[in-house]
C-alpha cells in the first residue's frame, strides 16, 4: 500500500525481500558518521532481525511535474523506517523500537524524519504500545535535536570501554 507522507513524498511497506536495500541503507547511515569504516557486517544484523514482525517502510520522492528533478532523483527510496520490538527492562512490557530511520542527505531538512517518526508513533499506538524507544549516537547532533524536539528523553546510557 502506498500513501502520501508529505507533499511530493509517498510511503510504502517493505518486506523481507528488501534485504539488500535495507543493508545498503543501514550502511549509509553508519558511513555518514564514520566514513572510513567498513560496514559490510551489518548484513548480519539485518539477517538476524528482519522478519514479518519487524515492519519496514520506504519513502519515495514522487514529483511528476518537473522532469529535471525526476532525472536527478529517479523514483527510488530516499528514506527508510525499520521498526522492531523490545522489552522494557523496568516494566517488562513489550514496546516498539526503531531499528533504523534514515533519510538520504539530498532530502534532509524537509520534514521527512519528523513525518516518519510520527508514522512510527502512530503504528506503535495502533498496536497497543505505550512507549517507543530508539538508540542514537551521542555525536549525531541533528538526530538528537530531532528526537528532543519530538519529546524523546534519555532513559539510559550505553557505555563501552575498549579492551585493547
Q: Which of 143, 136, 28, 150 is nearest to 77 (CA)?
A: 28
Q: What is the pLDDT of residue 74?
A: 52
| Burial classification of residue 78, based on how many CB atoms lie within 10 Å of its CB (0-12 exposed, 13-18 middle, 19 or more buried) | buried
- Predicted TM-score (pTM) of this structure: 0.88
pLDDT at 70 over 90: no
Q: What is the pLDDT of residue 69?
A: 52
* Rounded CA separation 46/112 (Å): 23
Neighbours of 147 (CB within 10 A): 19
The residues, ordered by sequence, that sit 6+ positions from 72 with a Cβ below 8 Å of its Cβ are: none
First to last CA, the chain: 49
Rounded to 5°, the CA angle 129-104-130 comes to 5
97-153 pLDDT tens trace = 999 999 999 999 999 999 999 999 999 999 999 999 999 999 999 999 999 999 999
Amino acid at each position: 500500500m502506498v500513501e502520501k507522507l508529505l507533499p511530493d513524498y509517498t510511503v510504502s511497506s517493505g518486506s523481507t525481500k528488501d534485504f539488500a536495500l535495507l543493508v545498503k541503507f543501514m550502511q549509509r547511515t553508519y558511513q555518514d558518521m564514520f566514513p572510513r569504516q567498513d560496514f559490510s557486517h551489518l548484513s548480519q544484523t539485518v539477517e538476524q532481525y528482519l522478519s514479518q514482525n519487524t515492519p519496514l517502510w520506504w519513502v519515495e520522492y514522487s514529483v511528476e511535474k518537473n522532469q529535471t528533478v525526476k532525472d536527478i532523483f529517479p523514483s527510488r527510496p530516499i528514506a527508510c523506517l525499520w521498526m522492531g520490538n523490545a522489552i522494557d527492562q523496568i516494566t517488562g512490557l513489550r514496546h516498539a523500537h526503531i531499528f533504523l530511520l534514515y533519510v538520504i542527505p539530498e532530502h534532509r531538512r524537509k520534514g521527512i524524519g519528523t513525518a516518519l517518526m510520527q508514522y512510527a508513533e502512530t503504528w506503535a499506538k495502533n498496536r497497543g504500545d505505550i512507549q517507543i524507544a530508539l538508540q542514537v549516537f551521542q555525536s549525531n547532533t541533528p538526530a538528537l535535536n530531532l528526537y528532543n524536539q519530538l519529546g524523546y528523553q534519555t532513559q539510559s546510557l550505553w557505555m563501552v570501554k575498549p579492551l585493547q
